[in-house]
């Protein structure tokens, strides 16, 4: 089937391919995300003559004090939200991209692809990512040992964390930091989808005989595009993490809390504190996007072939 003959991908395909891609990413990359969160919450390096605890040292400390399984804290919250998150990301991006496409040629300009990515990132942030990350961060921030059954954690699992948060702090707590989450996801997906689409076009330009790129090329393109977001919005992500971990402060608006956290970080820890956890975040997001795009493209292709074969069978 030529590219011109391809039918638009259905929503069910986005759910299946996106969900499988997201689950694979979470299973492979969750330890890096846990290390990133711990680094962002850490106040190490504040004392004169000391340095902040690094990526490897943080990971080693978690495994030594809490067992290696602690690196997967919050995985339940991630997996429970990954299917709708990825379905919404890809489905909304393609929808926005279609709306902004040129009516005559059907092509979408690079500027409109970026806008579609911004809109898709905002959509997924509000619909899924923010509440999922509040729960995930609460679980990841717990420094209890999984090897000691007597050391009871505050939150036993994702479901218990949601129940406790709703009972003690209210529904709106799940949306604490939603503005920062939306800003982070918007910039992430704007940069991610723009770079991915343009690099994919370039790869097809130099390989005009290929209708589908091989998986290793898709992974490389995803790796490069995935690294764009973390470098552009690291301060946003660090402030968001601290905001979502902190308890509610009555009488203070979200903007006041965000400003207070940013000012305290600047005053007590310096400019470097805004980039805490950047190494594990890039190491998680970049290969994570490589996995997501490779799995997504492969599953989507398989589903399309199955649908074509079924249509051919029914038409005989």
pLDDT digits (tens, 9 = 90+) for 138-194: 998 887 766 666 577 888 888 999 999 999 999 999 999 899 999 999 999 999 999
Q: Are 228 and 191 in contact (CB under 8 A)?
A: yes
Average pLDDT over residues 42-61: 82
Residue 277, classed as helix, strand or coil, is coil
Q: Are 191 and 117 in contact (CB under 8 A)?
A: yes
**What is the Cα–Cα distance from 273 to 249, expressed in whole angstroms?**
23
User: How many alpha carbons fall within 13 Å on the CB side of residue 257?
Assistant: 21
Report the C-alpha dihedral over residues 225, 229, 230, 231, rounded to 10 degrees.
90
What is the phi/psi pair of residue 254, to 5°? Answer: -60, -40
Query: How many angstroms from the chain centroid is the CA of residue 218?
Result: 18
- Residue 43 confidence class, pLDDT cut points 50, 70, 90: confident
Q: Which residues contact 8 (CB under 8 A, 6 or more apart)?
A: 94, 98
**What is the Cα–Cα distance from 222 to 102, expressed in whole angstroms?**
26
Q: Are 78 and 136 in contact (CB under 8 A)?
A: yes
pTM of the predicted model as reported, rounded to 2 decimal places: 0.76
- Express each pLDDT in 76-127 by its tens digit: 888 888 878 888 898 899 889 989 999 888 899 999 999 999 999 999 999 9
**What is the Cα–Cα distance from 163 to 161, expressed in whole angstroms?**
5
Nearest to 248 by CA among 314, 130, 165: 165
Average pLDDT over residues 241-269: 87
Asked whether the predicted pLDDT for residue 34 surpasses 60, the reply is: yes
Count of CB atoms situated within 10 Å of the CB of 134: 26
- Express each pLDDT in 265-290 by its tens digit: 999 999 988 998 888 888 888 998 99
End-to-end CA distance of the chain: 18
User: For residue 88, what is the enclosing H or E element?
Assistant: helix 75-99
Average pLDDT over residues 311-315: 57
Q: Are 64 and 167 in contact (CB under 8 A)?
A: no
What are the Cα distances from residue 225, in Å, to 55, 109, 120, 189? 23, 18, 16, 9
Q: Are 34 and 10 in contact (CB under 8 A)?
A: no
Asked whether the predicted pLDDT for residue 3 surpasses 60, the reply is: no
Asked whether the predicted pLDDT for residue 137 surpasses 60, the reply is: yes
Radius of gyration of the chain from Cα atoms? 21
Q: Are 212 and 301 in contact (CB under 8 A)?
A: yes
């Amino acid at each position: 089937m030529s590219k011109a003959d391809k039918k638009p991908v259905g929503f069910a395909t986005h759910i299946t391919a996106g969900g499988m891609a997201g689950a694979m990413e979470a299973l492979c990359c969750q330890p890096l995300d846990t290390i990133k969160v711990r680094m962002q919450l850490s106040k190490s390096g504040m004392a004169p003559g000391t340095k902040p605890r690094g990526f490897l040292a943080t990971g080693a400390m978690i495994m030594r004090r809490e067992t290696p399984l602690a690196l997967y804290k919050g995985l339940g919250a991630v997996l429970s939200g990954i299917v709708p998150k990825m379905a919404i990301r890809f489905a909304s991006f393609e929808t926005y991209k279609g709306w902004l496409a040129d009516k005559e040629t059907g092509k979408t300009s690079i500027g409109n692809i970026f806008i579609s990515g911004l809109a898709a990132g905002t959509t997924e942030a509000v619909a899924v990512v923010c509440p999922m990350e509040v729960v995930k961060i609460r679980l990841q921030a717990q420094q209890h040992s999984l090897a000691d059954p007597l050391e009871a954690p505050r939150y036993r699992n994702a479901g218990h964390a949601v129940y406790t948060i709703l009972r003690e702090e209210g529904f709106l707590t799940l949306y604490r930091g939603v503005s920062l989450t939306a800003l982070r996801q918007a910039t992430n997906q704007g940069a991610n989808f723009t770079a991915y689409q343009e690099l994919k076009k370039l790869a097809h330009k130099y390989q005009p005989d290929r209708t589908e790129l091989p998986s290793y090329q898709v992974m490389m393109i995803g790796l490069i595009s995935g690294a764009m977001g973390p470098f552009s919005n690291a301060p946003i992500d660090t402030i968001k993490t601290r905001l979502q971990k902190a308890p509610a402060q009555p009488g203070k608006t979200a903007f006041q809390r965000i400003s207070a956290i940013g000012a305290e970080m600047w005053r007590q820890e310096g400019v470097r504190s805004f980039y805490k956890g950047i190494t594990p975040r890039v190491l998680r997001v970049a290969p994570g996007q490589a996995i997501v795009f490779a799995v997504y493209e492969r599953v989507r292709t398989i589903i399309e072939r199955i649908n074509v074969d079924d249509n051919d069978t029914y038409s005989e």
